Amino acid sequence: MTQRPRAVTVLGATGSIGSSTLDVIARHPDRYRVHALTAHRSRETLLAQCRVHAPALAVLDHEEDAAWLRERLRQAGLATEVRAGAEALVEVSEAPEVEVVMAAIVGAAGLLPTLAAVRAGKRVLLANKEALVMSGALFMDAVGRAGATLLPIDSEHNAIYQCLPVEHRGGLARHGVTQLLLTASGGPFRGWSPRALAEVTPEQACAHPNWSMGRKISVDSATLMNKGLELIEACWLFDARPDQIQVVVHPQSVIHSMAAYSDGSVLAQLGNPDMRTPIAYGLAWPERIEAGVEALDLFAVSRLDFEAPDEAAFPCLRLAREAMADGGTAPAVLNAANEVAVAAFLDGTLGFAGIPELVARVRERCPVEPAGELEGILAADARARREAREWLSRR
């Protein structure tokens, strides 16, 4: 008996992760079908994706964009229903017919639909690290209560997941794990002095040497905030303390992360830097499927280098570690302040060195509150954004 294709909702379909997910899905039409695609404002890209994948539903943030897409799809003779707004995002995430949700919306905007998918017991492919950064305890509790399957898609967390026992909750020591080694490429400014970093432009920051990513994530990679957010995410995903996670700068981005064991073993996951590998892993787990990624040629790589991160030049990593240690709403505040700072840097109103400065100032002004309820987390997020914008207006 032929198994019917699994229905997939792709949140953030027009971004790099969303596009790569659709590429993998298209390679396996017997296994997967697209139920819903969502985007922020990229309506033309979403239109093109709808023409190829014919989803039942498409969602945009604004009704004016939804009306534009609705008319274009009607002219094309496609039956895709178009909706708009945050409520529609939640609906396509928890829809009964959906089995798999790719959570690839960048930033805090992805929290509510991702949490909705978890609470509905879906297989959630987590590429939105901010959901765990903002609401780690609440999020992981919801995973357990609903019996959802949570599979990390960030290349580093996916690598660690592959290097750990299938059941790894309950603390790393319980499973003989002594340390998680979270690799970082170092971004485009590895080795730069603070003086040189002060002159960095948005175009330079978005030119990542190894990975193809959106502008916001590219800037986070350049400041090492991305690695700081990943450290926080890893703590929640793998039930680890911040001191059990070591960030290792590995410029080649071939080893995606490692797990060290008490017997002296270190297990690593290697591969070419292509997000279709972890996406395919998440879609098919526990099986393996073809992802369109070239096999790793170790002779072409020829060498693997490792070094410690420069936290004096890139203080965002330290700020993230401190926020995780403080707990409560501190990571949500860190994330919100960083989102405002990166947006200001990209529009030219804040220098590159101003990003960690703004984050540190907002952290100082926002007291740490308990993070047991979603309302409190969202309130902390909102306050941090207000404080960040006020700090920018006073400069």
330-386 pLDDT, tens per residue?
999 999 999 999 999 999 999 999 999 999 999 999 999 999 899 999 999 999 999
Q: Is the dihedral of CA 318, 326, 247, 130 positive or negative?
A: negative
| Annotated binding residues for Mn(2+) | 154, 156, 230
Is 59 a member of any domain?
Answer: yes
Residue 212: its pLDDT value, please?
64
pLDDT band at residue 313 using 50, 70 and 90 as cut-offs:
very high
Q: Is residue 289 part of a domain?
A: no
pLDDT (tens digit per residue) in 48-106: 999 999 999 999 999 999 999 999 999 999 999 999 999 999 999 999 999 999 999 98
Average pLDDT (224-235) is 96
Is residue 52 located within the same domain as residue 144? yes
Partners of 101 in the beta sheet? 9, 124
Q: Verify that 149 and 12 share a domain, yes or no.
A: yes
Handedness of CA 325, 330, 335, 337 (dihedral sign): negative
Radius of gyration of the chain (CA): 20
Going by C-alpha positions, the residue among 119, 138, 117 that lies closest to residue 332 is 138
pLDDT of res. 360: 98
Compute the 3-state secondary structure of the chain and give helix, strand, coil in percent, each to the nearest 5. 50, 15, 35
Q: What per-residue confidence (pLDDT) applies to 2?
A: 56
Binding residues: 14-17, 41, 128-130, 154-156, 185, 208, 214, 221, 226-227, 230
**84 contacts 60 by C-beta, under 8 angstroms:** yes
Of 126, 153, 180, which marks where a domain is finished?
A: 153
pLDDT at 208 over 80: no
Using the structure block, give the residue that is written with the tokens 């995430």. Answer: 93
Count how many domains the chain has: 3
Residues 104 and 23 in one domain: yes
- Domain extent, residue 304, equals 165-273+298-310
Here the tokens at position 23 are 């590429």
Domain boundary among 132, 153, 174: 153
Specify the CATH number for the domain of residue 387: 1.10.1740.10
Query: Is 132 within a domain?
Result: yes
Residue 317 falls within a domain, yes or no?
no
Does 266 map to a domain? yes
Mean pLDDT of the 106-127 span: 95
Specify binding-site residues for 1-deoxy-D-xylulose 5-phosphate.
Answer: 129, 155-156, 185, 208, 221, 226-227, 230
Angle among Cα 113, 337, 324 to the nearest 5 degrees reads 80
Q: At what angle do helices 276-284 and 155-163 cross, to 10 degrees?
A: 50
Q: Is there a contact between 19 and 46 (Cβ–Cβ < 8 Å)? A: no
264 and 347 belong to one structural domain: no
Contact 112, 142 (CB under 8 A): no
Domain identity same for 70 and 208: no
Helix (H) or strand (E) segment spanning residue 385: helix 374-394
Clarify whether residues 14 and 125 are in a common domain: yes
Nearest to 52 by CA among 16, 80, 89, 12: 80
- What pLDDT digit, counting tens, does each position of 133-173 carry? 999 999 999 999 999 999 999 999 999 999 999 888 788 99
pTM: 0.93
Extract the annotated binding site for NADPH. Answer: 14-17, 41, 128, 130, 214
pLDDT reported for residue 211: 65
Residue 44: the pLDDT is 97
Same domain, 137 and 70: yes
Tokens 């534009």, residue? 68
Query: Across the chain, what does the average pLDDT equal?
Result: 95
pLDDT of residue 214: 81
22 plus 134 within the same structural domain:
yes
Q: Do 200 and 101 reside in the same domain of the chain?
A: no
DSSP 3-state of 168: coil
| Residues 210 and 185 sit within 8 Å (Cβ to Cβ) | yes
In the predicted structure, residue 247 carries a pLDDT above the cut 60: yes
Mean pLDDT confidence for 29-45: 97
Residues 337 and 370 in one domain: yes
pLDDT of residue 395 exceeding 90, the answer is: no
**pLDDT for position 207:** 86
Query: CA triplet 71, 76, 79: central angle to 5 degrees?
Result: 75
In a domain, 278, yes or no: no
Does residue 124 sit in the same domain as residue 210?
Answer: no
Asked, for residue 349, whether it belongs to a domain, the answer is: yes
The amino acid at residue 258 is M
Domain assignment present for 320: no
Same domain, 250 and 194: yes
Q: What is the pLDDT of residue 1?
A: 42
| Helix ranges, 214-353 (H) | 215-223, 225-237, 276-284, 298-301, 316-326, 330-346
